[in-house]
Amino acid sequence: MISVLLADDHPAICFALKVLLEKGGEYAVTDSSGENLIAQLHRSTPQLLILDLDLNNANGLDLLPRIKQHFPLMKILIFTNQSAQIYATRTLQAGADGFINKSLPLDSVESVCRLIMAGYYCFPGVVYNDLATPKAHACDAQQLLARFSDREIAVLNYLKQGKTNKEIADSLALSNKTISTYKARMLKKSGVEDLTQLFEMLESKDDT
């Protein structure tokens, strides 16, 4: 039986996925809100981690390379509402084995888990296009985001959720001043004056 840990702070999603995966008798699923996730993984390491990028007490993209460093043999599937256009390639580069958006039918998760446990990588086609296509122009949202660091992307995601500098700093274990620095860097890279303009630039071409 394959041991699975589902790190997602939405109880309804955890319940539905647990029922879906366990009904065939192939998986044993436990769930976690994502708080103190690495410590929990040390206590009981699953064969497969299904990880949301949006956790109340942590950022999945920030956690991913640290998890992979501690548990290099553990398979990791990213299961998120976040755009594949923005996040899928980054999660692949950070060590994930698959990426699936929550907008897809829930039963598609089971087939992706099966493929990952068989040794395959499962990512949207945009990942392979992104890796194969050189960035010749710097005018659209995807190419702009490619210039942001992973930490800047994490801060940007929190800002889009309406979180304050203090809330973001607490979530990422940083200072308010550091968050302000990341914001200033992103505005400079984007060539805009405020966050509203940055969000509008990204949303105009964001692929959900």
User: Poorest-confidence range of 37-51, 101-115, 126-140, 194-208?
Assistant: 126-140
For residue range 106-145, what is the model confidence (pLDDT) as tens digits?
888 999 999 999 999 999 876 765 555 444 333 466 777 7
Residue 31 has pLDDT above 60, yes or no: yes
Kindly state the average pLDDT of the residues 13-28: 92
User: Poorest-confidence range of 108-112, 115-119, 146-150, 154-158?
Assistant: 146-150
Higher pLDDT: 68 or 136? It is: 68
Residue 11 has pLDDT above 60, yes or no: yes
Q: Do 193 and 166 belong to one domain?
A: yes
Give the closest residue to 30 by CA, choosing from 39, 21, 100.
Answer: 21
CA distance 127 to 35: 29
**Residue 161: CATH number of its domain:** 1.10.10.10
- The predicted pLDDT at position 7 comes to 93
In a domain, residue 101? The reply is yes
**Residue found under tokens 């990512």:** 123
Residue 166 has pLDDT above 80, yes or no: yes
Q: Over the chain, what is the mean pLDDT?
A: 85
Q: Do 102 and 8 belong to one domain?
A: yes
Q: Do 105 and 149 belong to one domain?
A: no
Higher pLDDT: 138 or 163? It is: 163
Residue 22 has pLDDT above 80, yes or no: yes
Higher pLDDT: 82 or 140? It is: 82
In a domain, residue 17? The reply is yes
Q: Do 115 and 153 belong to one domain?
A: no
Give the CA distances from residue 43 to residues 36, 38, 203, in Å, rounded to whole numbers and listed in that order: 11, 9, 41
- Give the side-chain half-sphere CA count within 13 A for 176: 5
* Boundary residue ending a domain (113, 131, 149): 131
Q: Do 111 and 155 belong to one domain?
A: no
Q: Do 44 and 111 belong to one domain?
A: yes
Q: Do 25 and 117 belong to one domain?
A: yes
Higher pLDDT: 142 or 88? It is: 88
**Angle of helix 176-190 relative to helix 150-160, nearest 10 degrees?**
100
* Boundary residue ending a domain (78, 98, 131): 131
Q: Do 80 and 172 belong to one domain?
A: no
Counted domains in the chain:
2
User: Poorest-confidence range of 25-34, 62-71, 76-85, 118-127?
Assistant: 118-127
- The predicted pLDDT at position 137 comes to 37
Which run of H or E residues covers position 30? strand 27-32
CA distance 150 to 182: 11
- The predicted pLDDT at position 125 comes to 78
Q: Do 86 and 181 belong to one domain?
A: no
**Residue 48: CATH number of its domain:** 3.40.50.2300
* Boundary residue ending a domain (81, 101, 131): 131
**For residues 183, 146, 55 and 68, what is the CA-based torsion angle, rounded to 10 degrees?**
-120
Per the structure, the complete domain to which residue 159 belongs is given by: 141-203
Give the CA distances from residue 37 to residues 18, 56, 58, 76, 130, in Å, rounded to whole numbers and listed in that order: 18, 12, 9, 13, 30
Kindly state the average pLDDT of the residues 155-169: 89
